[in-house]
Amino acid sequence: MSDTPTPRRIPDRLDKPLKSAVFSWEALLVVVAVAIFIANSLASPYFLDPWSLSDLTFNFTEKAIVALAMALLIIAGEIDLSVAAIIALASTLMGMAVQVGVGTPGLVLIGIAVGLACGAFNGLLVTRLGLPSIVVTIGTMTLYRGIAFIILGDQAYKGYPSSFAFFGQGYVWWVVSFEVTLFLVAAAIYWALLHRTSFGRRIFAIGNNPVAAQFSGVRVGRTKFILFCLTGLMSGVAAILITSRLGSTRPSIAQGYELEIITMVVLGGVNILGGAGSIPGVVIAAFIMGLVTFGLGLLNVPGIVMSIFVGLLLIVVIALPIVWRRLRREKLA
């Protein structure tokens, strides 16, 4: 609106009132997480056991690892719906390799390479042909999973080497699993990438105004391409973890994960329209999702009810900020 009269020296920032920190989305998420944690411990006497808490993390770390990269992609104004299909295809190709006697290092390499290749293909279609990512990745979602189905039929690949089991079943120290360790390390890396590097700053610029970003010398296409590759890469990593944990590959592997991953990202405060969001928010949101599914599991709620819950949660977290803004605007006008 109008401008405040000039102080000759413009300060870097005004002192933020404590209120804005207390009422931030991340703070709200922490409160919700603590509340669900308490509710769970009241609902079941087994919940507070260290091993039970450790089990809980297996519920969400694989998806959360993909959510980290997805957060960056959504902040840049794009989306990848094919992540679960990439997991399925990577897992299937790993299973094929096992049949011809490929060892653990080779399997890891295949998982990562397939993820990266699928992500790069998505990225090429979006940035080179200028197609909307939602359409491209609905297409590749069917494509990648279709290839997995053709290879696998209604069979299952088994017989993974015992050393391969470590990624999804091993523990680094006491109850701390390899999966959760990997997730926390990845979260730290993605936090630094998004919030502490020039690359991260450009992601925010692209999400808020891609045209002005391009005019400002940001290589918009290249940046988006890298983000698609990262999302594919993280899907490949998730494929390694899931396959290792289950010890087998079935065609239905990771079915419906894309929805839970996107829900995590949006619950974490990332604007579905791009331009805003934070990694700490996504990490807390991942824990909330894990706590809720685990809590519902403790209460013996069937899986189909859980997917209803996830669907509702997605709608609510997308609608909430939009309705909130509309109410504020009406108050203004």
Partner 1 sequence: MDTTARRNGANERPLASTARLTLSGISKSFPGVRALHDVGLSLYPGEVTALVGENGAGKSTLVKIMTGIYQPDSGTIAVDGKPVTLPSAHAAFAHGITAIHQETVLFDDLSVAENIFLGHAPRTRLGFIDWAMMRANAHEVLTTMQAGHIDPDSRLKDLGIANKHLVAVARAMSIDAQIVTMDEPTAALSMKEIEELFLLIEFLKSQGKAILFISHKFDEIFRIADRYTVFRDGEKVGEGLLSETNQNELVKAMVGRSIDHIFPQRTVSIGEPVLAIEGLSHPTEFDDIGFKLHKGEVLGFYGLVGAGRSEVMQAITGITRTSRGTISLEGAEIAPRSAADAIEAGIVYVPEERGKQGVVIGLPIFQNVSLPSLKRTGKSGLLRLAEEFTLARTYTQRLDLRASSLSQDVGTLSGGNQQKVVIAKWLATQPKVIILDEPTKGIDIGSKAAVHGFMGELVTEGLSVIMVSSELPEILGMSDRVVVMREGRIAAVYDNKELDAETLVRAAAGIAA
Beta bridge partner(s), residue 153: none
Out of 215, 299, 303, 325, the only residue in the binding site for partner 1 (CB under 8 A) is 215
Residue 204 binding partner 1, by CB under 8 A: yes
Give the C-alpha separation, 137 to 164, whole Å.
Answer: 30
Cβ 68 vs Cβ 234: under 8 Å:
yes
Residue 202 binding partner 1, by CB under 8 A: yes
Residue 326 binding partner 1, by CB under 8 A: no
Residue 6 binding partner 1, by CB under 8 A: yes
Cβ 275 vs Cβ 118: under 8 Å:
no
Residue 3 binding partner 1, by CB under 8 A: yes
Query: 223 or 244, CB closer to partner 1?
Result: 223
Residue 14 binding partner 1, by CB under 8 A: yes
DSSP string, 138-174: HHHHHHHHHHHHHHHTT--B----GGGGHHHH-EEET
Nearest distance, CB of residue 241 and partner 1, angstroms: 28
Q: What is the largest CA-CA distance in the chain?
A: 74
Judged by CB under 8 A, the stretch of 1-9, 51-59, 77-85, 111-119 that binds partner 1 is: 1-9
Q: At what angle do helices 83-99 and 61-75 cross, to 10 degrees?
A: 130
Nearest to 288 by CA among 62, 26, 37, 24: 37
Query: 204 or 257, CB closer to partner 1?
Result: 204
Nearest to 114 by CA among 222, 227, 238: 238
Beta bridge partner(s), residue 171: 177
Size of site (CB under 8 A) for partner 1: 38
Residue 330 binding partner 1, by CB under 8 A: no
Query: 170 or 321, CB closer to partner 1?
Result: 321
- Other Cβ atoms less than 10 A from the Cβ of 304: the count is 8
Judged by CB under 8 A, the stretch of 142-150, 168-176, 196-204, 231-239 that binds partner 1 is: 196-204
Query: 10 or 22, CB closer to partner 1?
Result: 10
Residue 219 binding partner 1, by CB under 8 A: yes
Residue ranges binding partner 1 (CB under 8 A): 1-6, 8-14, 196-202, 204-205, 207-209, 211-219, 275-276, 332-333
